[in-house]
């Protein structure tokens, strides 16, 4: 039964921009009909321009608490590894209640920025001394609460973190909040499964990286999760840094992606986060698995990771999506802009992201990121189409970046011409209105909670 309809004068569908599109969804927020070139209904809501909600395929929510606060010289030559020590210091202090406050504000920000779902790669599990909470799922419940209260779609990815480096090196003291044995993380997973299903969240698993989980535990973990849910998303950090590649070669004789493809049954349910440093053979073989590569351009730029070879991945028809990762930037449009500009810097060319049938870079990148992000999330959020969640973003056709533009130019204005303002007016998830300029239920409350949480963290430090 149709419970809601929205008539858009222009809408971005998987095939491109269409005019006079009538979208209808049921009481569960699932799209039942999409009718282009429709007659304008006598009643029902009419909007000028809509695009699909963007899935965010990689987030560490707690890192929003120190966004912008690591931009000072910490070592003679700062890198990801010196930044990681600063990040660990924040992770050592955050409480479950503070985790919920930072995630609530972050998820409200994401919705306001056009992200309608998020894959939360979550590894701060235990008390500061490393002992489990009386409820081992307490930190995860904080994230579930934040997602439920804001209305963002959630794929929860509890992280299995066991070692401090390749070859089973012991974890360092600042990693003690992260550590789980394989039986412990699987017990947590079983606890979380009914909680996620109850609020329409998806549960996946995240072996943190090849340096943090040894081969046997990686195999055991994925096999056990597959028995409980054969389609559960599996996300892993891989080949983010050159040092990681070098250390992996020293340990195994193989590069990280090469090793993973040879030793794990990587398929379309996997998401390879970053995969920045691959050789041509790895690009070809990884793309052939159907796995998604999770690109996080603003974080990769912030951390000095390097540049992903987007044209080579595209050549092999690789799937990809975008994530906000460390959440120093929360903007789907800016991730796409940074992706395109990083390619231009590297290749000294323009309009790298244009795709077959989509000469407009922003449109091609946007549709690619929506489709790959939906696959990585394991949720029905692949654009404005029958059977997908009614996750819809309305653009403000009076905003200076897009006003008076023809439909095929709208995303170009939104991504490349908005000057860090937002052309987003309203956002729906599962058919429910969440954003009306700002999160219409809890923007002010969530912001106040975030500010107080940061004050507490700094006073504690």
Q: Could you list the active site residues?
A: 274, 325
- Three-state DSSP class for residue 175: helix
Residues 6+ apart with CB under 8 A from 183: none
How far is residue 345's CA from residue 161's CA, in Å, rounded to a whole number?
35
Q: 22 with 86: CB under 8 angstroms?
A: no
- For residue 437, the tally of other CB atoms under 10 A from its CB is 13
How far is residue 11's CA from residue 396's CA, in Å, rounded to a whole number?
13
- Cα–Cα–Cα angle for 167, 255, 163, nearest 5°? 25
The two three-digit tokens of residue 243, written as one number:
């040092």
- Cα–Cα–Cα angle for 285, 247, 318, nearest 5°? 20
Residues 6+ apart with CB under 8 A from 59: 106, 110, 118, 119, 120, 121, 323, 324, 325, 327
> Tokens 């559960």 belong to which residue?
232
């Amino acid at each position: 039964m149709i419970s809601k309809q929205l008539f858009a004068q222009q809408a971005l569908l998987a095939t491109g921009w269409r005019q006079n599109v009538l979208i209808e969804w049921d009481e569960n927020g699932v799209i039942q009909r999409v009718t282009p070139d429709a007659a304008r209904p006598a009643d029902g809501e009419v909007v000028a321009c809509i695009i699909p909600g963007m899935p965010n395929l990689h987030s560490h929510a707690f890192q929003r608490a120190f966004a912008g606060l690591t931009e000072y010289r910490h070592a003679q030559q700062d890198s990801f590894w010196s930044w990681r020590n600063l990040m660990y210091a924040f992770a050592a202090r955050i409480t479950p209640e503070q985790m919920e406050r930072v995630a609530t504000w972050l998820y409200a920000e994401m919705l306001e920025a056009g992200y309608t779902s998020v894959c939360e790669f979550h590894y701060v599990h235990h008390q500061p001394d490393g002992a489990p909470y009386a409820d081992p799922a307490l930190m995860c419940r904080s994230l579930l609460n934040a997602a439920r209260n804001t209305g963002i779609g959630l794929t929860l990815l509890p992280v299995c973190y066991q070692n401090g480096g390749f070859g089973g090196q012991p974890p360092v003291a600042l990693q003690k909040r992260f550590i789980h044995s394989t039986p412990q993380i699987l017990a947590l997973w079983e606890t979380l499964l009914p909680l996620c299903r109850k609020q329409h969240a998806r549960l996946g698993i995240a072996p943190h990286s090849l340096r943090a989980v040894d081969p046997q535990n990686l195999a055991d973990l994925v096999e056990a999760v597959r028995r409980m849910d054969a389609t559960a998303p599996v996300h892993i950090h891989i080949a983010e840094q050159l040092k990681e590649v070098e250390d992996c070669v020293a340990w195994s004789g193989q590069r990280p992606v090469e090793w993973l493809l040879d030793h794990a049954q990587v398929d379309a349910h996997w998401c390879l986060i970053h995969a920045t440093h691959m050789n041509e053979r790895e690009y070809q073989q990884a793309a052939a698995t159907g796995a998604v590569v999770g690109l996080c351009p603003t974080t990769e730029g912030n951390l000095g990771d390097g540049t992903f070879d987007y044209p080579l991945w595209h050549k092999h028809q690789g799937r990809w999506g975008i994530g906000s990762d460390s959440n120093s930037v929360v903007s789907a449009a800016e991730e796409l802009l940074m992706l395109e500009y990083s390619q231009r810097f590297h290749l000294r060319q323009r309009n790298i992201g244009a795709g077959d049938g989509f000469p407009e870079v922003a449109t091609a990148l946007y549709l690619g990121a929506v489709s790959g992000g939906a696959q990585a999330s394991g949720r029905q959020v692949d654009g404005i189409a029958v059977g997908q969640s009614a996750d819809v973003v309305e653009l403000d056709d009076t905003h200076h970046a897009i006003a008076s533009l023809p439909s095929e130019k709208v995303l170009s204005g939104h991504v490349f011409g908005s000057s860090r303002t937002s052309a987003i007016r309203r956002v729906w998830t599962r058919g429910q209105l969440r954003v009306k300029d700002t999160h219409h239920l809890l923007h002010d409350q969530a912001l106040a909670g975030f500010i107080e949480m940061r004050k507490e963290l700094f006073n504690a430090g």
